[in-house]
């Protein structure tokens, strides 16, 4: 086997665009022409397989692919012998239980002795078992949300993101049983060479993800406000402080986290900062 890392990504679906966008942000160029099932990166030792997402965990287990990107829901349901390498932060959704919106709901015990339609019998079965509920699981492969209205099942367990599909089928979400996002899976027996390529890829993904969670901030401040302002800025290390041409003023540069963004900006303004600029960071290596 030559030293190329083979990655399986979804051919066409909700994971495809974000999976390829992430690869691109890692500086890896791949020509995935229409309908292609296989492609090679031109500037990184990586080969791409474009597959149905259902098949990806199994292919990674069997070594047909070395790594793969799938929804955690699919990875958990397929339950293959693979390593979960990394959460990727996109394709976020949840698996939920839903019932006819006209039914009253008192709690999980309402499902005792009832029937549930789902494409996720393993995840649902584990959940019911953990909650000591006996219910009938009807495995169906699609259009799960119509099951209650056609009398196939009392409730369903399916993927929800906004909830609009449930609503348009007259259902209401009553329990979230699994939270999902795209994950990277890897084969358990990668060669040393392939592991090295995977480490390089993960280094790049980390840099892209860290950059997305952070912003570069520049501001001007009177020198007597500097101490307060520096205390507000968490930064990677201590912020850079440069004198301005105007006497008694400095320019302060730092990095702030997206999560605390508005609180920090408000604090800075109150402390006397002016001309605050916030710019995205493309890559960030800590």
Of 40 and 181, which CB lies nearer to ligand ATP in the complex structure? 181
71 versus 239: smaller Cβ distance to ligand ATP: 71
By CB under 6 A, tell whether 20 contacts ligand ATP.
Answer: no
Q: Are 273 and 225 in contact (CB under 8 A)?
A: yes
- Shortest Cβ 131–ligand ATP spacing (Å): 23
Structural tokens at position 148: 């209650």
Binding string, residues 31-70; x marks residues near ligand ATP by CB under 6 A = ---------------------xxx----------------
Phi, psi of 269 (to 5 degrees): -65, -45
Helix (H, G, I), strand (E, B) or coil at 56: helix
Stretch that binds Mg ion, among 17-25, 48-56, 213-221, 259-267 (CB under 5 A): 48-56
C-alpha to C-alpha distance for 210 and 253, rounded to whole angstroms: 18
Q: Which of 42, 81, 134, 161 binds ligand ATP (CB under 6 A)?
A: 161
Of the residues 68, 71, 155, 239, which one makes contact with ligand ATP according to CB under 6 A: 71
The reply to whether 159 sits near ligand ATP by the rule CB under 6 A is yes
* Measured distance CA(196)–CA(253) in Å, rounded: 35
139 binds Mg ion, rule: CB under 5 A: no
Checking DSSP bridges between strand 115-118 and strand 155-160, what pairing results, if any?
A: parallel
What residue number has its CB nearest to ligand ATP?
Answer: 71
Q: Does 193 bind Mg ion (CB under 5 A)?
A: no
Could you tell me where the beta strands, DSSP code E, fall in the chain? 5-10, 38-40, 46-51, 67-71, 83-87, 93-100, 115-118, 136-139, 155-160, 171-180, 182-186, 214-222, 240-243, 249-257, 274-280
Among 15, 28, 144, 255, binds ligand ATP (CB under 6 A): 15
d(CA 214, CA 209): 9
Specify whether the CB–CB gap between 225 and 272 falls below 8 A.
yes
Pure H helices in 179-256:
192-212, 226-232
| Residue 91 binds to ligand ATP (criterion: CB under 6 A) | yes
> How far is the first Cα of the chain from the last one, in angstroms, to the nearest whole number?
34
Site for ligand ATP in 241-270 (CB under 6 A): none
Q: What values do phi and psi take at 167, rounded to 5?
A: -60, -45
| Partner in contact with 10, chosen from ligand ATP, Mg ion, none, beta carbon below 5 to 8 Å by kind | ligand ATP
The reply on whether position 53 binds Mg ion by CB under 5 A is yes
Question: How many angstroms separate the CA atoms of 172 and 185, rounded?
Answer: 33
Work out which of 73, 169, 214, 254 binds ligand ATP, going by CB under 6 A: 73
173 binds ligand ATP (CB under 6 A): no
99 or 159: whose CB is closer to ligand ATP? 159
Under the rule (CB under 5 A), what is the footprint of Mg ion? Answer: 53-54
Under the rule (CB under 6 A), what is the footprint of ligand ATP? Answer: 10, 13-15, 52-54, 71, 73-74, 91-93, 159, 161, 180
């Amino acid at each position: 086997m030559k030293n190329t890392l083979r990655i399986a990504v979804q051919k066409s679906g909700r994971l495809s665009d974000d999976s390829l966008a992430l690869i691109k942000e890692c500086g890896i160029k791949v020509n995935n022409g229409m309908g292609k099932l296989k492609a090679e990166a031109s500037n990184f030792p990586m080969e791409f397989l474009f597959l149905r997402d259902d098949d990806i965990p199994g292919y990674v287990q069997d070594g047909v692919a070395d790594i793969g990107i799938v929804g955690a829901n699919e990875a958990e349901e397929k339950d293959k012998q693979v390593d979960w390498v990394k959460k990727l932060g996109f394709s976020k959704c949840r698996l939920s239980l839903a019932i006819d919106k006209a039914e009253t709901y008192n709690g999980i015990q309402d499902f005792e002795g009832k029937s549930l339609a789902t494409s996720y019998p393993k995840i649902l079965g584990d959940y019911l078992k953990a909650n000591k509920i006996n219910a009938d699981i009807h495995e169906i492969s699609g259009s799960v949300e119509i099951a209650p209205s056609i009398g196939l099942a009392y409730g369903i367990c399916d993927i929800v993101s906004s909830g609009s599909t449930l609503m348009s089928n007259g259902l209401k979400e009553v329990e979230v049983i699994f939270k999902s996002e795209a994950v990277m899976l890897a084969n358990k027996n990668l060669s040393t060479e392939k592991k090295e390529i995977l480490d390089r890829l993960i280094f790049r993904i980390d840099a892209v993800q860290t950059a997305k969670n952070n912003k570069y901030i520049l501001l001007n401040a009177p020198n007597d406000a500097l101490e307060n302002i520096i205390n507000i800025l968490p930064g990677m290390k201590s912020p850079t402080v440069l004198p301005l041409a105007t006497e008694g003023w400095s320019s302060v540069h730092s990095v702030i986290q997206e999560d605390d963004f508005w609180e920090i900006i408000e604090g800075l303004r109150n402390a006397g900062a002016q001309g605050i600029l916030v710019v995205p960071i493309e890559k960030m290596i800590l």
